[in-house]
Amino acid sequence: MPGYELWSDKERKEVNDVLNTGILMRYGFDGMRNGIWKSKELEAAICETFGTKHAQLVSSGTAALTTAMAALGIGYGDEVITPCFTFVASFEAIISVGATPVFADVDDTLTLDPLSVKKAITAKTKAIMPVHMCGSMADLDALSALCKEHNLILLEDACQSIGGSYKGKQLGSIGDAGTFSFDFVKTMTCAEGGVIMSNREDVFTHSDGYSDHGHDHKGVDRGADLHPFVGYNFRISELHSAVGLAQIKRLPEFLALQKKNHGALKEILAQIPGISFRRIPDPSGDSCSFISWFLPTEEITRAVVAELKAQGILAGNFYWFDNNWHYIRKWDHLKNGTTLNALHPDHKKAVMHHANKNFSASDAVMGRCISTAISLTWTEEQIIDKGNKIVAAVKKIMQEINALV
């Protein structure tokens, strides 16, 4: 899964380039930096690697989502349709710009069910934000068609699917805008960081300004910059960009290892009786950072998770249904509208209303799902050992449950 597993001299070299000049900021200080512009270089590499016209680095994936929303003009009174299975950052960003997250169900793709999205569209809907969870993509043809039909923005939260693609295009490069996270556990890391990608000039100009206090960046003197709109500080530092620059050059290596280990483990897990795998709208575009698999019932799945835990082999296997970060069932802070800053009462009411809806269709999927994270450092023997242990644990549980009925 993550690039941090293969930390190397290449990352050290890029960081040292910055340490040698001492210019840790991405803007200004032109004379003192000896031509070292790691953030600019990384943005150019992102455009080239992912096939997007523009890229704006920021300090995190969450900042990237917030900036993208501001850049796209999403704000108070707007509804953004997003899945109930995602990382909390997705709804945090929506709320932060004053908009309301409207949660739709996920289907066996573990991403937005287009039918549920269609039902959620109202006169207030401004954007659809699919989240390409666990390395693989949402049904972008169906969602793009809905956006076109209803004149909505498509914003891809591609934070978890770096290197995945859909029908030949890189995830994150397809919508009006897309975001990646480069936090420590993502497919490539900056330690902390994120990016907004877009083919739209206006989205880029807005993102560039918004993430640096509204500066227009037109001159060489920061003090003389104009501020066409109110911004914020979501800047990335040169140290972080240096790490990312080394990592993006190694991305093909990471993705190839991921694919190889994914394939080997999946072949073993396929022996589990009654197993099925996540549906992937474009199987050739899977980034392979996880294998997500389903067992026949929630009861069996729970028992298997308990068995893996008892055997000390649960690490790296995620049962999102019980996870506090990724599935709506446990987002009590959101359901209760618990924020530190007061929200407008109408906004708070809308947020709470949508967080407390019925998600039984998603429960039926998530209750039976386990996602196994793929490590880049596994040996063939480790994969065989890991796979065989999981298969044996599931078979044991199924025998026990069958003996009861």
Ligand X SMILES: *Cc1c(COP(=O)(O)O)cnc(C)c1O
DSSP annotation of 374: P
Instruction: For the CB of residue 179, give the shortest distance to ligand X in the complex, in Å.
Output: 7
Q: Toward ligand X, which CB reaches closer, 33 or 132?
A: 132
Q: Toward ligand X, which CB reaches closer, 194 or 337?
A: 194
| Signed CA dihedral, 139, 144, 150, 155: sign only | positive
| Signed CA dihedral, 272, 275, 276, 277: sign only | negative
Q: Toward ligand X, which CB reaches closer, 163 or 194?
A: 194
CB neighbours of residue 68 within 10 Å: 34
Instruction: For the CB of residue 184, give the shortest distance to ligand X in the complex, in Å.
Output: 8
Q: Toward ligand X, which CB reaches closer, 181 or 211?
A: 181
Which residue number is nearest to ligand X in terms of Cβ?
Answer: 61
Token code pair at residue 264: 């080997």
For strand 276-277 and strand 153-157, is the pairing parallel, antiparallel, or unpaired? Answer: unpaired
Token code pair at residue 253: 């290596």
CA 258-87-325 angle, to 5 degrees, is 105
Instruction: For the CB of residue 402, give the shortest distance to ligand X in the complex, in Å.
Output: 37
Q: DSSP string covering 151-198, please?
A: T-EEEEE-TT-TT-EETTEETTSSSSEEEEE-BTTSSS--BS-EEEEE
Instruction: For the CB of residue 181, give the shortest distance to ligand X in the complex, in Å.
Output: 3
Q: Toward ligand X, which CB reaches closer, 181 or 241?
A: 181
CB neighbours of residue 27 within 10 Å: 17
Show Cβ contacts of residue 397 under 8 Å, excluding neighbours closer than 6 positions.
300, 303, 304, 307
Q: DSSP string covering 225-275, please?
A: ---SS---B-PPPHHHHHHHHHHHHHHHHHHHHHHHHHHHHHHHHTTSTT-
Show Cβ contacts of residue 55 under 8 Å, excluding neighbours closer than 6 positions.
43, 44, 46, 47, 195, 196, 197
Helices 238-269 and 380-404 meet at what angle, rounded to 10?
Answer: 50
Binding site for ligand X (CB under 6 A): 60-62, 86-87, 89-90, 131, 157, 159-160, 181, 183, 194
Instruction: For the CB of residue 11, give the shortest distance to ligand X in the complex, in Å.
Output: 18
Q: Toward ligand X, which CB reaches closer, 186 or 386?
A: 186
Q: Toward ligand X, which CB reaches closer, 157 or 238?
A: 157
Instruction: For the CB of residue 20, give the shortest distance to ligand X in the complex, in Å.
Output: 27
Active site residue ranges: 186
Buried residues in 120-152 as b, exposed as e (16+ CB within 10 A): bbeeebbbbbbbbbbbbbbbbebbbebbeeeeb
Instruction: For the CB of residue 109, give the shortest distance to ligand X in the complex, in Å.
Output: 15
